[in-house]
Amino acid sequence: MLKTGMTLQNISTMVKDKSIKENEHKKRALNILQILSQTKRKTMLGEFQEKKLPAFQMLIATILSARAKDETTMPISRTLFKKYSTAEKLAKAKPDDVKRIIRKIGFFNNKTKSIIACAQMLLDEYDRKVPDTMEELLKLPGVGRKVAGCVLVYGFNQDAIPVDTHVHRISNRLGLVNTTNPEKTEFALMKLYSQKYWRLINDTLVHHGKTICKPIGPKCTQCLIQKLCHKKGVKK
Ligand code: SF4
């Protein structure tokens, strides 16, 4: 039933206005992505993808990289894979030996447990193969949506939007989304961008987050997209 005083014409105007606003929002989002993607550098996973790292190693490197710097994770992953290059080898590894290799990465105790358990599960339940769907990846120890998304993008060349703290923070500051956690951001970004752009988002925003739009003290005056940014939550 129509609210008192509301005519069909009012409703049609409201729908039109909403759709114009949505289109403008999408245009701004695309513009931002296009500008920033010109400046992006390859992340560790981007480099591993270029070197065609096997999916198993991509998965383990991604688990190790959670809340750790690429510069630390990259050489340590390489050392680890010299000794434990496959699920068979890693499943049989002694935890103390793995800990010794990865000890400079944060949360190395938990990560040791996760990667050995993950290798074991691949042997027991996945015929040694890394699954290539979000649903199956999420069943592996140490794998959340962000890790699974990275494996899909960098290990299997699939369309996904891995959302880490950088992607979540910047998307909200820009006013592209208005969300309270990375999972909600992932779904909001999927709605905002057409699928062909999904793979660009992680690399692009992570690089921007590390260099310009830092968690504390974003360098807004040096930012190429300052005019397009809503600067939500940023102290002026
Ligand atoms: S203008 Fe500032 S807040 Fe907005 S994206 Fe750039 S650095 Fe981040």
For residue 231, the model assigns a pLDDT of: 97
Answer yes or no: do 182 and 209 share one domain: yes
How far apart, in Å, are the Cα atoms of 166 and each of 40, 105, 173? 14, 19, 10
Mean pLDDT of the chain: 94
Domain membership of residue 12 (yes or no) is no
* Ligand 1 mean position, distance from CA 217 (Å): 10
Whether the CB-CB separation of 77 and 64 falls below 8 Å is answered with: yes
Q: Determine, yes or no, domain membership for 193.
A: yes
164 and 207 part of one domain: yes
Domain end call among 156, 176, 201: 156
Structural domains of the chain, count: 2
In a domain, 31, yes or no: no
The single-letter DSSP state of residue 105 is S
- Same domain for 53 and 151? yes
* C-beta separation of 173 from 36 below 8 A: no
Q: 94: pLDDT confidence band, cut at 50, 70 and 90?
A: very high
Task: Return the best residue to mutate from 36, 234, 235 for the ligand 1 pocket (most ligand atoms within 8 A of CB).
Answer: 234
Q: What is the pLDDT of residues 138-155, one digit of tens each?
A: 999 999 999 999 999 999
How far, in Å, CA of 132 to CA of 110, rounded?
24
Q: Are residues 120 and 190 in the same domain?
A: no
CATH of the domain at 180: 1.10.1670.10
| Residue 200: closest CA among 42, 83, 89, 82 | 42
CA of residue 225 to ligand 1 center, whole Å: 7
- 142 and 163 fall within a common domain: no
Residue of 35, 220, 221 best suited for mutating to test ligand 1, as the one with most atoms within 8 Å of CB = 220
Contact partners, residue 47, CB within 8 Å, separation at least 6: 74
Flag whether 14 is in a domain: no
DSSP SS3 for 28: helix
| 27 domain residue, yes or no | no
Q: Percent of the chain scored above 70 by pLDDT?
A: 98
* pLDDT value, residue 226: 97
> Looking at residues 49-56, what average pLDDT do you find?
93
d(CA 94, CA 222): 48
CA of residue 205 to ligand 1 center, whole Å = 11
* 136 & 229 share domain: no
The reply to whether 151 and 164 lie within a common domain is no
Is residue 144, in this structure, part of any structural domain at all? yes
Domain annotation covers residue 134: yes
Do 123 and 77 fall into the same domain?
yes
User: Angle 108-125/95-102 helices, nearest 10 degrees?
Assistant: 130
Kindly give the distance from the C-alpha atom of residue 68 to the centroid of ligand 1, in angstroms, as a whole number.
23
Kindly give the distance from the C-alpha atom of residue 150 to the centroid of ligand 1, in angstroms, as a whole number. 24
Q: Which domain holds residue 63?
A: 44-156
Q: End of a domain among 156, 184, 202?
A: 156
Ligand 1: residues with CB < 6 A are: 170, 173-174, 212-213, 218-220, 223, 225-226, 229, 231, 234
Q: Does 107 reside within a domain?
A: yes
Does residue 2 register a pLDDT over 60?
Answer: no
Q: Which of 156, 186, 210 is the last residue of a domain?
A: 156
Residue-wise pLDDT for 203-219, tens only, equals 999 999 999 999 999 99
- 236 has pLDDT over 80: no
Q: How far, in Å, is the centroid of ligand 1 from the Cα of 163?
A: 18
Q: Which amino acid is at 26?
A: K
- Same domain (yes/no): 113, 210: no
Q: Is 145 left (phi over 0), alpha (psi -120 to 50) or beta?
A: alpha
Burial of 220 (0-12, 13-18, 19+ CB in 10 A): middle
